[in-house]
Amino acid sequence: MPRTEQQFEEIRTEKRKIIMDVALELFATNGFHATSISQIAKQAGISKGLAYNYFESKNELLNAVINQGFIEIASFTEVKPDQPLCDEELIAFIEQSFDKVSNDIRHWKLFYSLMLQPHIAENFTERYAKAAEPFFKMIFHFITSKGSTDPEGDLLIISMMVEGAFLYAVAAPGIFPIEQLKQKVIDGIFRIVKTSKK
Amino acid sequence: MPRTEQQFEEIRTEKRKIIMDVALELFATNGFHATSISQIAKQAGISKGLAYNYFESKNELLNAVINQGFIEIASFTEVKPDQPLCDEELIAFIEQSFDKVSNDIRHWKLFYSLMLQPHIAENFTERYAKAAEPFFKMIFHFITSKGSTDPEGDLLIISMMVEGAFLYAVAAPGIFPIEQLKQKVIDGIFRIVKTSKK
Amino acid sequence: MPRTEQQFEEIRTEKRKIIMDVALELFATNGFHATSISQIAKQAGISKGLAYNYFESKNELLNAVINQGFIEIASFTEVKPDQPLCDEELIAFIEQSFDKVSNDIRHWKLFYSLMLQPHIAENFTERYAKAAEPFFKMIFHFITSKGSTDPEGDLLIISMMVEGAFLYAVAAPGIFPIEQLKQKVIDGIFRIVKTSKK
Amino acid sequence: MPRTEQQFEEIRTEKRKIIMDVALELFATNGFHATSISQIAKQAGISKGLAYNYFESKNELLNAVINQGFIEIASFTEVKPDQPLCDEELIAFIEQSFDKVSNDIRHWKLFYSLMLQPHIAENFTERYAKAAEPFFKMIFHFITSKGSTDPEGDLLIISMMVEGAFLYAVAAPGIFPIEQLKQKVIDGIFRIVKTSKK
DNA sequence: GATGAATGAGGATTCATTCAT
DNA sequence: TATGAATGAATCCTCATTCAT
């Protein structure tokens, strides 16, 4: 009995996932240029040829991996970004964000690498900025609602803190425990907010 | 009659500098693996072979470039790290640091890339940590002298801010003007310090 | 649908054989270092890259060629080395040995080269000694059974003769016809044996 | 005071000798193709350029080394080759020959390599044959004077023995002591001679 | 005589990609 | 869908040789 259309579709989807997962692992660990299709195929348990059946080129594969990463980041926005947040909501939001990062370190590692070498992936910078926007919008809402006298400036300070914390989480996960980073960022945000009010 | 020892020395020093400069440019822009010795040689106006007369291997060249970067970072420490700083001194120190970074963006870009893919260069993480130590020591002195009740915690917050700001300066130099980042970091530090005292 | 396992196996075996044969030819004629993978590939009618699909490195290829040679030498031992030989058997054994050499001059040429530059191939000297052992054991049995009063010494004399004859056969095949060498070695052995008895 | 013509000449001769000695060492140990001019220059304590001042090319250097070797071999002939030898003279002659080889293993190693890969040096085979001629002539005289019934055949047997012994001396100097080889060759020659007479 | 910077061709090896099956 | 043989360009690196000084 031949497989049904749907079964084929499932196999494809499943295998794509495996390839992308291996690719993510290797791209994040060793870098895009230092990772070969052969390596990916071998580690994914498939033939080189099959990899090309699923992805037109190594660059396409990278793009797919990146897009997958953006989709996961996008779930940041589950909290509606247009309503004022109370403190607890802000805390929960930050905690979730850190957990997202720490559960998906590989994508973030890849992203930070790509930020530094943007020509590897077309339009990466713009796409990343767009993906990060909701996150910063929420912070902006929060500090505005808290009465910040210079919300753009405060947002920048907080962004730097968050970006630095994420970088620590991603580049040196053994050294700075995620919980500590999380608490310090939350702590930092509140202290920035507190010192903003006239 | 051959050139004098000194003439040779000059030629070598001069050319090494050129090669290292080109290499830094390309490593920082395109990444280590995406940069070929051919490219470096062409852009440096020399033959491929000659590059190997100056550096035993591509990895050696990378190491030389990295070491040069550390030497430049090392001049952070010019301010004596053991004396308490007044506010103006702290401000000057931070400003200098940012100017260092912005005058040497390429090294910093390379460094951030290497932090994310540390096996490219042997012992990079350790060497970077050691190079950065004096910087953080100075901050630590400052916040301690200001009466911080949790200097380790406050230092971490400030580190994150600085690291984030540097990352912005390096990865997106067009978007965030160095002056703004500098001011916001100084601002942030003082606000963190202010909220630390009982 | 892919080729069957067996089809692939056949292709690989066949092509490996071709590559190894060309490599043997060139290594023997021009030496290992003077032979490039390009040459081998061109003469084998394949691309340089494909050669690496079959052999991990030039050294691996050399090893494969050497091992093949040892396998062929190993068939020396077909005669059981532990039973006393009559004259006719000794003669047949020597004749076979010379025929082996003359039908596989290239391996022997390579072997003699490697004896002189042993660090080209790891453990070559030991492996060769082990491969040659059965041959000398048989001679030893023969001269012992003939009543040699100094079998070790006589074996050495005979070994020198055989080694010299093989060298002539291999290095100057046009000058000394194999038949002549063969007859003279047999002749020499019997004369050495004859002069050994008290 | 400038150096005299003669002093210059001495320096040149001296330095040529050094270069040739280092080259011989490396050619014999590692092979011609695996030895670079840089290596030779470094080990000889001179610059690469100077090596080319003394020898037009790497091949010229090889030729010079080979010629030097032939000159040393040539002194085999000091014994006049046209007079019949008594046993003691033959023994002395063989002993001298072995001592020559063992005092100049490097040339012999190179020679045996070149016999196996003759295109490396133009006309090597012919030149070697010519250089070896006096040696074999003496043996021929000896066995003829001893009444050999088949002097060509006996000479071939003895040649094989000698060639094999030399090969052992050169390729495995640790394993077969030169004295043993020497004695066995002398022993072998006499036994061949003894079994030749009707 | 002497130096070593400089070149360019060539060598080993890797790799994205194609394709017959 | 799936395989892996096959290609060729590109990579890192070496080396004989030249040449200005």
Tokens representing D82?
């046209």
Split into its structural domains, chain D has a count of: 2
At residue D77 the predicted structure's pLDDT band, cuts being 50, 70 and 90, is low
Domain with C169 in it: what CATH number?
A: 1.10.357
B60 in a structural domain: no
**What Å value separates CA D111 and C1' E8?**
33
Is C1's pLDDT higher than 80? no
Per the CB < 8 Å rule, is A167 touching B165? Answer: no
**What Å value separates CA C24 and C1' E12?**
18
Taking the stretch 150-169 of protein chain C, residues with Cβ within 7 Å of any atom in nucleic acid chain F are none
Query: Are residues C88 and C180 located together in one domain of the fold?
Result: yes
Average pLDDT over residues B78-105: 86
Count other C-beta atoms under 10 Å from residue C108's C-beta. Answer: 23
Query: Are residues D90 and D155 located together in one domain of the fold?
Result: yes
Average pLDDT over residues D80-89: 77
Is D81's pLDDT higher than 60? no
A29 touching B (Cβ < 8 Å):
yes
First to last CA, chain C: 76
Q: Which residue has the tokens 């007044």?
A: B86
3-state helix, strand, coil in chain A (%, to 5): 80, 0, 20
C113 vs D contacts (CB less than 8 Å)? 113, 116-117
C164 touching D (Cβ < 8 Å):
yes
Tokens representing D160?
């094989």
A60 in a structural domain: no
CB B180 within 7 Å, strand F: no
Average pLDDT over residues C179-189: 97
C60 in a structural domain: no
Query: Are residues D81 and D134 located together in one domain of the fold?
Result: yes
Identify the residue with better confidence: D177 or D79. Answer: D177
Question: Are the CB atoms for D113 and C117 separated by under 8 Å?
Answer: yes
Q: Alpha carbon D143 to chain centroid distance?
A: 23
Residues 6+ apart with CB under 8 A from A64: A16, A20, A55
Length of chain B: 198
Is B88's pLDDT higher than 80? yes
Tokens representing B57?
């291997």
Reported as a single tens digit per residue, the pLDDT across A31-87 is 999 999 999 999 999 999 999 999 999 999 999 999 999 998 887 556 565 667 799
Does the CA dihedral C4-C6-C7-C8 come out positive or negative?
A: positive
Query: Are residues D85 and D103 located together in one domain of the fold?
Result: yes
Q: Do chains B and A touch (3 or more CB pairs under 8 A)?
A: yes
Tokens representing B40?
């470096």
Q: Return the residue of A nearest to B171 by Cα.
A: A116
Per the CB < 8 Å rule, is D157 touching C188? Answer: yes
Identify the residue with better confidence: D85 or D137. Answer: D137
Among A98, A99, A90, which residue's Cα sits nearest to residue A140? A90
pTM of the model: 0.93
Q: Which of A111, A116, A189 to mutate to test the interface with B (most CBs of B within 10 A)?
A: A116
Alpha helices per DSSP H over chain D: 5-30, 37-44, 48-54, 58-74, 87-103, 105-116, 124-145, 151-171, 178-194
Q: What angle do CA C194, C195, C196 make, to 5 degrees?
A: 95
Identify the residue with better confidence: D150 or B3. Answer: D150
Residues 6+ apart with CB under 8 A from D152: none
Q: Domain of A159?
A: 65-194
Query: Are residues A40 and A73 located together in one domain of the fold?
Result: no
Average pLDDT over residues A20-37: 97
Query: Are residues D126 and D35 located together in one domain of the fold?
Result: no
B132 touching A (Cβ < 8 Å):
no
Q: Rounded to a whole number, what is the distance in Å from the CA of C189 to chain D's nearest CA? A: 10
Is A2's pLDDT higher than 80? no
- φ/ψ (deg, to 5) at B137: -60, -40
At residue A9 the predicted structure's pLDDT band, cuts being 50, 70 and 90, is confident
Query: Are residues D173 and D126 located together in one domain of the fold?
Result: yes
D134 touching C (Cβ < 8 Å):
no
Taking the stretch 27-46 of protein chain D, residues with Cβ within 7 Å of any atom in nucleic acid chain E are 46
User: Cα separation of D177 and B19, whole Å?
Assistant: 55
Among B74, B56, B72, B73, which residue's Cα sits nearest to residue B19? B56
User: Cα separation of C24 and B161, whole Å?
Assistant: 65
D60 in a structural domain: no
Per-residue confidence (pLDDT) for residue D1, from 0 to 100: 45
| Residue type present at position C17 | K
C157 vs D contacts (CB less than 8 Å)? 161, 184-185, 187-188, 191
Taking the stretch 17-56 of protein chain C, residues with Cβ within 7 Å of any atom in nucleic acid chain F are 46-50, 53
Q: Which residue of D109, D125, D185 is in closest CB contact with C116? A: D109
Is A1's pLDDT higher than 50? no
Residues 6+ apart with CB under 8 A from B183: none
Is D79's pLDDT higher than 60? no
A170 touching B (Cβ < 8 Å):
yes
Query: Are residues B45 and B74 located together in one domain of the fold?
Result: no
- φ/ψ (deg, to 5) at D147: 90, 25
D179 in a structural domain: yes
Q: What angle do CA B189, B191, B196 make, to 5 degrees?
A: 95
A183 in a structural domain: yes
Residues 6+ apart with CB under 8 A from A7: none
CB A17 within 7 Å, strand F: no
Length of chain A: 198
Tokens representing C54?
């079959």
Domain with C14 in it: what CATH number?
A: 1.10.10.60
Query: Are residues D42 and D74 located together in one domain of the fold?
Result: no
pLDDT above 70 coverage of chain B, percent: 94
Q: Which residue has the tokens 């971490």?
A: B156
Average pLDDT over residues D135-150: 93
Chain C: partners with 3+ C-beta pairs within 8 Å: D
Among D24, D27, D29, which residue's Cα sits nearest to residue D71? D24
User: Cα separation of C50 and C9, whole Å?
Assistant: 15
Query: Are residues B73 and B22 located together in one domain of the fold?
Result: no
CB crowding D125-148: b at 16 or more within 10 Å, else e = bebbeebbebbbebbbbbbeebeb
Query: Are residues D131 and D167 located together in one domain of the fold?
Result: yes
A165 in a structural domain: yes
Average pLDDT of chain D to the nearest whole number: 91
Question: Are the CB atoms for A147 and A196 separated by under 8 Å?
Answer: yes
Q: Rounded to a whole number, what is the distance in Å from the CA of A5 to chain B's nearest CA? A: 41
Among B38, B39, B58, which residue's Cα sits nearest to residue B48? B38
Count other C-beta atoms under 10 Å from residue B41's C-beta. Answer: 19
Among A160, A10, A167, A26, which residue's Cα sits nearest to residue A98? A167
Q: Which residue of D33, D170, D191 is in closest CB contact with C191? A: D191
The DSSP secondary-structure symbol of A177 reads -
Is D156's pLDDT higher than 70? yes
Per the CB < 8 Å rule, is D125 touching C172? Answer: yes
User: Cα separation of A162 and B164, whole Å?
Assistant: 7
Among C110, C134, C148, C111, which residue's Cα sits nearest to residue C25? C110
Query: Are residues C104 and C72 located together in one domain of the fold?
Result: yes
A86 in a structural domain: yes
Domain with D159 in it: what CATH number?
A: 1.10.357.10
Average pLDDT of chain C to the nearest whole number: 93
User: By mean pLDDT, which of A95-99, B4-8, D61-65 is the weakest?
Assistant: B4-8
Tokens representing D120?
């490396």
Question: Are the CB atoms for D181 and D98 separated by under 8 Å?
Answer: yes
User: Cα separation of C171 and C108, whole Å?
Assistant: 9
Reported as a single tens digit per residue, the pLDDT across C121-158 is 999 999 999 999 989 999 999 999 999 999 999 999 99
Length of chain C: 198
